[in-house]
Amino acid sequence: NLELTSSALKPVVWTIAGSDSGGGAGIQADLATIDDLGCHGCSAITCLTAQNSVSVTLVEPVSEEMLLAQLDVLLADLAPMAIKIGLLANQEQVNLLGKWLNTSLREFQKANAVDVNVILDPVMVASCGAHFASDKRSENQLDFLPFKGLITLITPNTAELSVLSGCRLKDLSDCHQAAKALSKRFECNVLAKGGDKGAAWQAETAKDIFVCIQAPGSAVIYQQRSFLLSSPRVESTNNHGSGCTLSSAIASVMAWGFVLHDAVVVAKAYVTEGIKQSGRPGKGPGPLARTG
Ligand code: PLP
């Protein structure tokens, strides 16, 4: 039970992501999740998307100046316990954010002797299949290497894992190898999500591969260990924003002081229940219900 008596006690969680005008994913899903899990949500918006439940018609990035101004003004007052990063609109935004994590956030952590967990959802293809490249490419393909060593966890879906690893993923073993390679390359923990439709090995159960490089609750980097998180597949097309919800739930649970391993399990259960209880306000895939 994460209920609180005073809103002043709520841990602050940031989402750095894009706006979904349809309200099912992006910033809107993140803030709903963060609030549902008893935290105070702040947002740094990377881009506006014009979309409803069936299509995305326009993506417009904010300027680098605007993105930086949001990060700096929040750090000066509403400092985060955890950060979720979602849709970044272009490589300039990735570079800027990488630099900001490495300088401003690092200095803040040092000065205040705190660890701020950063969860990166490398949004390139939405779980509903929508594409986000502002220049009309089929994938919003970005080089996330500026985040190397600066994030706690990266949460690609199978399509994103394939793009990031440069490998065609034919089975679960391929996904595992790709997740391990990603963990090495980015020096972080990896949660390779298995919720995507279409993969034969995901037909019965949604299998997430969790590759971790830390013992629970420890900052000590050790050899990679892998866990398979399996849950019965929920037969529903109302999965819009499931990746956004998962990553912001992990950030929120960690902001409460839970270790990554627990946060991943709690967040997966939260998403599964959210899909089970989801509705359909438009003609297309509906958003997850909030069940905190
Ligand atoms: N970010 C924005 C702004 C979006 O609109 C979407 C999906 O439409 C996503 C991220 C990713 O969505 P999902 O969580 O379904 O992968």
Q: How confident is the model at residue 1, as a pLDDT?
A: 46
Main-chain dihedrals φ then ψ at residue 191, nearest 5 degrees: -120, 105
Q: Which atom of ligand 1 is nearest to the CA of 27?
A: 3
Q: By alpha-carbon position, which residue is closest to atom 11 of ligand 1? A: 126
ipTM for the assembly:
0.93
Determine the Cα–Cα distance for residues 40 and 252; give it in Å rounded to an integer.
9
Amino acid at 119: I
Kindly state if the Cβ of 156 falls inside 6 Å of ligand 1. no
Lookup: tokens for 61: 């990035």
Pocket test for ligand 1, best of 15, 132, 236 (most atoms within 8 A of CB): 132
Q: Which residues pair with 43 in a beta bridge?
A: 15
pLDDT over 70 at 110, yes or no? yes
Q: Which domains does the chain have, with CATH numbers?
A: 11-156+240-276 (3.40.1190.20)
Q: How confident is the model at residue 62, as a pLDDT?
A: 97
Q: pTM for the full model?
A: 0.94
Q: How many CB atoms lie within 10 A of CB 35?
A: 17
Lookup: tokens for 269: 């259960």
CA of 215 to the centre of ligand 1 (A): 31
Contacts for 73 with CB less than 8 Å, ≥ 6 apart: none
CA-based max dimension of the chain: 50
Kindly state if the Cβ of 127 falls inside 6 Å of ligand 1. yes
What value does the mean pLDDT take over residues 105-126?
93
Give tens-digit pLDDT for 238-260. Answer: 989 999 999 999 999 999 999 99
Q: How confident is the model at residue 287, as a pLDDT?
A: 92
Determine the Cα–Cα distance for residues 246 and 256; give it in Å rounded to an integer.
16
